[in-house]
Amino acid sequence: MTLPISKVVLERTLPQLIHIEHALTLDDIAVLLFIALCSAGYFCNGRLWNKPNPYDHLWYERPQGTATSTSAATRDISKKMSDASGTAEGFANRLARECHSRFSLSAMAADLSDYDPSTIASLSEKQYLVFILSTYGEGDPSDNTSGIWNWLHQTSQTSLGNVRYMAFGLGNSSYKFYNRVVDVIVDALDKRGAVALLPVGKADDCKGGTEEDFMTWKEKVLECFREKLNLQEQDFQYEPKYTIENMLPSPEVLLDSGEPFWRPEHRKAADTYSPIRTLPVKISKDLLSTSQRSCLHMELDLSPYPELKYRTGDHLAVWPINPDAEVDLLLSVLGFEDRKEKVIRIALTDVSMRNKLPSITTIEALFRYHLDICAPVSRETILTLCHFAPSSSAQEFLTQLGKSKIKYAQVQKTRQITMGRLLQLAIQNSPATPWSTIPFSFILETLPLMMPRYYSISSSSIVSPRQPSITAMVSVTQLAADAITAPNDLSGERIFGLATNYLLALSRFLHPEACTIQPDLYALTYDLEGPNKVLEGAKIHAMIRRSKFKLPAAPASPLIMIAAGTGVAPFRAFLQECARLKTLGKAVGSMQLFFGCRREEEDFLYQEELMRLQEELGKGTLQIVTAFSREKAGEKIYVQDRVMENREMVYEMLMEKDATLYICGSAAMGREVAAVVGKIVRERRQWNDQELKGWMEQRKKTRRWQEDMWA
């Protein structure tokens, strides 16, 4: 008997639980997949693990959900798994569905934090666990993993001899403690007698390899099912997750036209975010402009919403809109041009699951506002698309592309593989053949939800309480030309950042004269008026997210701020606030700002303002040290090099003046800076690695070492 799969909608790093049952001819074998998902990005906007708070980038983060917590009916995992209720998100959901489609297994997924971790010991030998765990930047588990993490560390005598498991880690090797969580938990399981059915698999998002790493490991899991459980694979059978029906528009029908909605599952997460509002863009200007890059300074107006407030160091979440070209392409290749404005009703086939899509809407609203149609398509999805190919040539193309990691990588080098572009490419030899064979439900299941993109607020809340600003770097990635399809083309496709180019288009709408300055960058158009024209007059959908990246409570506390590129944004806000406090008669502490970029004349962001703030605060109070990596040919100076050059001052401020250290920028830069700071302290104190680690952890615990980084 196949039991239904119910869904638990999860936040960014939620552990998951999947239960699988299969009836064999002689014995009933319950195959249980226990999935703890602890994400960090990096994948979304997409899409990236190991991102430390405060960014919570939402690829595996869950921006849509109710502001309520989901609780389990029982705290006993073994009993709950036998009930086979629940479902999973992300990799957990994909793995569970594939087990069902390929082996007739029914799967349950649930949030591990809803259960008592000690009940794992009650599982039978006929049940199997699969852990999928992600790691934060400093090697820490998420809050939702803390239950099993603490239990495994506190119960060394508990026997787990009945536990059979597999494990996969999600991490980023640009961080020092790469995949530490999965290593620690696996080691604890083994010491208690648990038996690993497979070697630990690990994903590395440093070079965007998470998807491929997961696919490689997943095949080993399925091979284990075949060889160790003797399960027989069945022919592919697609079971739609959604039912879609046409509707006649009427005044009684509440039609969703595309405005974003935000319903965090957990009350704690809900308290972190403000409501989504349509914020007017008051000021937008270029901080730098080149043929390939632009940096926007954008100021927003909170005055229409008196209840909306921010604090220095918080983040602004911007909800982007898909570009017109991608929307039109996907509508065309699916043959939906004539149906795009028709009203449809979307319902889940499993009523126990929660629908994250609007119930009544239009196809155009889905493609333009609700789904991230610009996200890359995975090889796994490509292989599934083969079953719906409208022609043998399309099927052959997709099969070759999906099965060959090398061919897939080659195509990635020459073009951006969005859903629309992939489907068009597959039928390029028969362009009159639309993809009418593909179920619309599959498109809705496959395309990720549109997620907000986060930006550090670069203004002080006491200087500009009703006008927060953000700083966004807009760049274009130029791919190589395809030697086969475009032999005479010297350059390939350009990849545009989704949110940043949306903001750029909005800025150019306000300042059309700038389009002639950067014609290469200004290449995309958007529905800037938004759904029902609610964004008319240069507005964006946005919300404020509280951050822990804050100034010390005492203004006189000394500060060391280290940034590269747009990482200087929150430090601009910090310095604005310190300067204002000084004018109010408050004593401010000494400050050291290390800032790195490519060239002084090209991308020294806020240079004039920073120099003015230095004058206001006094050069004896604020010192600015710069590092320009491309100023001189053959000489690359990075911000960590400047930190090492000023090691005596850094050591004195940290160890004698007890300065608070801030690092903001890319994860790779942050790792290098942290290593240099650690080396400076260790050498002066003659500490070993354990002593240094303890010192760093203590400073982070007391908020005297703060990081705001992205992968």
In angstroms, rounded to a whole number, what is the distance separating the alpha carbons of residues 76 and 508? 57
Least confident of 66-80, 610-624, 650-664: 66-80
Instruction: Reply yes or no on whether the pLDDT at 703 is more than 50.
Output: yes
Q: What CATH number has the domain spanning 324-446?
A: 1.20.990.10
Instruction: Reply yes or no on whether the pLDDT at 81 is more than 60.
Output: no
Total residue count of the chain as it appears in this document:
711
Residue 126: which residues within 8 A CB-CB, separation 6 or more? Answer: 27, 28, 29, 30
* E-assigned strand segments in 572-655: 591-597, 622-628
pLDDT at 142: 66
Q: In this predicted model, which residue has the larger pLDDT, 6 or 263?
A: 263
- Asked whether this chain's domains 18-228 and 324-446 adopt the same fold, the reply is no
Confidence of residue 90 (pLDDT cuts 50, 70, 90): low
Confidence of residue 112 (pLDDT cuts 50, 70, 90): low
Please, are residues 170 and 51 in contact by the beta-carbon 8 Å criterion? Answer: no
pLDDT tens digits, residue range 9-59?
Answer: 223 333 444 444 444 433 434 444 443 443 333 333 333 344 433 333 322
pLDDT at 235: 83
pLDDT tens digits, residue range 562-608?
Answer: 999 999 999 999 999 999 999 999 999 999 999 999 999 889 999 99
Closest by CA to 556, choosing from 646, 611, 621, is: 621
Largest CA distance in the chain: 83
Span 263-283, average pLDDT: 82
Instruction: Reply yes or no on whether the pLDDT at 684 is more than 90.
Output: yes
Tokens of 601: 């004349």
Least confident of 226-235, 387-396, 665-674: 226-235
Compute φ and ψ for 340, nearest 5 degrees: -60, -30
pLDDT over 70 for what percent of the chain?
Answer: 80
Q: What CATH number has the domain spanning 559-710?
A: 3.40.50.80
Q: Which phi-psi region, left, alpha or beta, contains residue 313 (left: φ > 0; alpha: ψ -120 to 50)?
A: left
pLDDT at 522: 56
What pairing do the DSSP bridges indicate for beta strands 18-23 and 106-107? antiparallel
Compute φ and ψ for 273, nearest 5 degrees: -110, 145
Least confident of 149-153, 612-616, 705-709: 149-153
Q: What is the DSSP letter of 95?
A: H
Instruction: Reply yes or no on whether the pLDDT at 175 is more than 80.
Output: no
Beta sheet of 18-23, edge-to-edge order = 28-33, 18-23, 106-107
In angstroms, rounded to a whole number, what is the distance separating the alpha carbons of residues 279 and 305? 9
Confidence of residue 114 (pLDDT cuts 50, 70, 90): low
Confidence of residue 477 (pLDDT cuts 50, 70, 90): low
Span 635-657, average pLDDT: 96
* The listed CATH number (3.40.1190.10, 3.30.70.1450, 3.40.50.360, 3.10.20.600) that belongs to domain 18-228: 3.40.50.360
pLDDT at 32: 43
pLDDT tens digits, residue range 502-554?
Answer: 999 999 999 887 665 555 555 789 999 999 999 999 999 999 999 999 999 99
Span 395-404, average pLDDT: 94
Tokens of 442: 């599959």
Three-state SS at 325 = helix
Please, are residues 458 and 569 in contact by the beta-carbon 8 Å criterion? Answer: yes
Buried b (16+ CB within 10 A) or exposed e, 194-231: beebbebbbbbbbeeebbbbbbebbeebbebbeeebeb
pLDDT at 268: 64
Compute φ and ψ for 332, nearest 5 degrees: -70, -50
Please, are residues 673 and 178 in contact by the beta-carbon 8 Å criterion? Answer: no
Compute φ and ψ for 491, nearest 5 degrees: -140, 150
In angstroms, rounded to a whole number, what is the distance separating the alpha carbons of residues 652 and 294? 38
pLDDT over 90 for what percent of the chain?
Answer: 51
User: What angle, 0 to 180 degrees and rounded to 10, lies between the N-to-C axes of helices 392-403 and 419-426?
Assistant: 130
Residue 39: which residues within 8 A CB-CB, separation 6 or more? Answer: 12, 13, 49, 59, 60, 61, 90, 134, 170
Q: CB burial class (10 A; 0-12, 13-18, 19+) of residue 337?
A: middle
- Cβ atoms within 10 Å, residue 557: 17
Q: How far is CA 707 from CA 19, 43, 663, in A?
A: 38, 20, 5
In the chain, where the domains are located: 18-228, 273-320+452-548, 324-446, 559-710
pLDDT at 649: 97
Residue 315: which residues within 8 A CB-CB, separation 6 or more? Answer: 54, 55, 454, 455, 456, 457, 544, 545, 547
Instruction: Provide the mean pLDDT of the chain.
Output: 81
pTM above 0.85, yes or no: no
Span 174-181, average pLDDT: 80
pLDDT at 146: 74
Tokens of 271: 């308290």
Q: In this predicted model, which residue has the larger pLDDT, 612 or 151?
A: 612
- Cβ atoms within 10 Å, residue 649: 15
pLDDT at 205: 79
Q: CB burial class (10 A; 0-12, 13-18, 19+) of residue 486?
A: middle
Q: How far is CA 178 from CA 135, 170, 183, in A?
A: 7, 9, 9
Q: How far is CA 249 from CA 259, 347, 358, in A?
A: 18, 17, 15
CA angle, 340 then 277 then 293, to 5°: 75
Instruction: Reply yes or no on whether the pLDDT at 262 is more than 80.
Output: no
pLDDT at 22: 44
Instruction: Reply yes or no on whether the pLDDT at 431 is more than 80.
Output: no
Task: Calculate the CA 350 to chain-centre distance.
Answer: 27
Closest by CA to 161, choosing from 117, 181, 191, 198, is: 191
Tell me the Cα Rg of the chain. Answer: 26
pLDDT at 490: 35
Q: In this predicted model, which residue has the larger pLDDT, 358 or 84?
A: 358
Please, are residues 86 and 110 in contact by the beta-carbon 8 Å criterion? Answer: yes
Q: CB burial class (10 A; 0-12, 13-18, 19+) of residue 424?
A: middle
* The listed CATH number (3.40.50.10800, 3.40.250.10, 3.40.50.300, 2.40.30.10) that belongs to domain 273-320+452-548: 2.40.30.10
pLDDT at 88: 30
pLDDT at 480: 53
Quickly list H helices, 230-323: 267-270
Residue type, 656: E
Instruction: Reply yes or no on whether the pLDDT at 411 is more than 90.
Output: no
Please, are residues 58 and 89 in contact by the beta-carbon 8 Å criterion? Answer: no
Name the β-bridge partners of 707.
Answer: 663
Three-state SS at 279 = strand
